[in-house]
Structure 1
Amino acid sequence: MTLWAPLRSIIAAASLAVLSGCAAITAVSDAATPLDVYELRAPGGIAPSGGRVSARDVIVEIPTTSGALATDRIMIRPNALQAQYLPDVRWSEPTPVMIQTLMLRSIEATGAVRYVGRKPLGVSGDFAIVTEVIDFQADVVPGTETANVQIALLVRIVRERDASIIASRRFSAIATAATTETSVVIDAFSTASDQVFDAFAGWVRSTL
C-alpha cells in the first residue's frame, strides 16, 4: 500500500499539469478568435447650416469615461452593478475614440465651421469640445429578454483663448432592443446614437 502512494501522487500531479496545459491552450485559442466588428455612423439626416461658414477651428478631444467603457468591447449590463460584454463582437474603435469620430463627422456634416479635427492646425484651435461619457451600454430589463440601450454624454464647449466654458449640455437617448441578440442590440445602439448626435450637431451649429 505504501509503495503505491508515491505513484498515485505522481499520476495526480501529471494529470493536473495536463489539465492546466489544456486550460492555457483554450485561453490562448479564445484570445486568438477573431471578433465580429461593428461600427456606428454619424446620422445621415443632419441639416447643413445653409449660411456663411464660421471662420473658427474646433478641436474634438477624446472623451473621458469609466474604465469599463474604455474598451472596444460592447457593454451589456445584466443588472445595475454588473458590467459584461456581448460575446464574440467588438466596436471598430475603443468607445471613447468612436464617440470622438462620431462627433467629428456630425460637426463636419453641418458645414458650419471652417475646420474640425482631433488636433489643431496651428498651436491651438478656437474652441474645444470636451466630453464625458456617462452611459454607452445596453441594460437588460429585469425579468424580460429585452434591453434598453442608453447613451448619455455631458458635453462642454471651451474657448481655448482663456479656457472658459461658453456652453454645456447633456445629451441622452434610450432605444429598446426587443431581444439581447447581438444584431438587435446593435440596431438599438444605432437608433440611440442617431438621436444623440443629431441633437449634438444642431447644438454646436447654433452655439458657434
Structure 2
Amino acid sequence: MARPQKIRASALGLGLALALSGCSAITAISDASKTLEVYELRAPEIQPAGRSFGLDVVIEEPTTSGALQTDRIMIRPDPLQAQYLPGVRWSETTPVMLQTLMLRSLEQSQALRYVGRTPLGISGDVAVLTELVDFQAEVAPDGETGTVELRLISRVVRESDIRILGTRTFAARAILPSVEEAAVIAGFDQAASQLLSEHAAWVLSVLR
C-alpha cells in the first residue's frame, strides 16, 4: 500500500513543480512583454565644408563585443560587470545607432557626393571601418555618480586598392551628477556629440 502513496506523492510533487515553473514562465513572458521607454541620441550639428570632394563614402556598421550588440543601455557597477538600465532601450542596437549618427554627421558636411550604409554600385570610393570599444555608463564607488565612457577605433580605407588612409582612436567622457535615468541619457548625448563631431572632422580631413 505504501507504493501507490509514494507514486501519488511524486505525482503531486511533479504537478507542483510544473505549476511553479509555469508561474515562472508566465512571469518571464509578462516581464518580456513590458513596453520599454525608447531613447535616441542626436547627431551633432556639423557646419558645411564649403566644398565637395566628389566621393562616395560607405559607413560600415561598427564591430563590437557581444555585450554591446543590443539595444539595451549598458551601465557598469564595476569594471567586470555589465548590466542594463531597466525599462529603457535605444531606438536601434548600439552599433546600428552609432552608424546612423556617423552617417547623419557626415551628410551635414555636404562635402561628399554620397554617404550611406551600402555603396551605390559595386563599391564606394572610400569605406569607414570602426570598432566600438566602450559605450557605457560607469558607476563611481559612491554608487550615486558616475561617467559615460565612449571609445571608438576608426579606419578610412580606399576601396580601389584596400589602402588604409588613416587610423585613429576617439574617446569621449561625460560626468554624471547622478545615475538616474535622465542624467545617464543626457551624459550619453553629450559624450556622443563630442565623439561624433571629432570623428566627422577627422574623416573629412583624411579625405582632403
Bucket of the pairwise TM-score, normalised by the shorter protein: over 0.9
Number of residue pairs aligned between Structure 1 and Structure 2: 206
Partners in 1 of 2:142 and 2:179 — Cα distance?
A: 13
User: Structure 2: how far apart are the matches of 1:19 and 1:189?
Assistant: 41
Identity %: 55
Equivalent position amino acid for 1:88 in 2: G
Q: Does 1:199 align with 2:189?
A: no
Aligned mates of 2:186, 2:40 — CA distance in 1: 11
> C-alpha distance in 2, partners of 1:32/1:130?
35
| Structure 2 SS opposite 1:18 | helix
Deviates more, 1:171-180 or 1:186-195: 171-180
Structure 2 unaligned runs (5+)? none
- What is the CA deviation profile of residues 61-81 of structure 1, one whole-angstrom value per residue up to 9, with x for unaligned ones? 011000110111111111111
In structure 2, C-alpha distance between the alignment counterparts of 1:8 and 1:166, rounded to whole Å: 74
Q: TM-score, normalised by structure 2?
A: 0.94
Report the residue type matching 1:24 in the other structure.
A
Which sections of structure 1, spanning at least 5 residues, go unmatched? none
User: What is the Cα deviation at residue 5 of structure 1?
Assistant: 5.1
1:43 aligns to what? 44
Structure 1 residues 4-55: Cα deviation after superposition (integer angstroms, max 9, x where no partner)? 65554443333222111100100111111111111111112x22102x2111
Q: Distance in 1 between the 2:70 and 2:181 partners?
A: 17
Match of 1:54, SS state, is: coil
Read off the aligned partner of 2:202 and give its amino acid letter.
Answer: W
1:1-208 correspondence runs (5 A): 2=2, 6-44=7-45, 46-50=46-50, 52-208=51-207
Aligned residues: CA RMSD: 1.5
TM-score (norm. length: structure 1): 0.94
Q: Distance in 1 between matches of 2:9 and 2:163?
A: 74
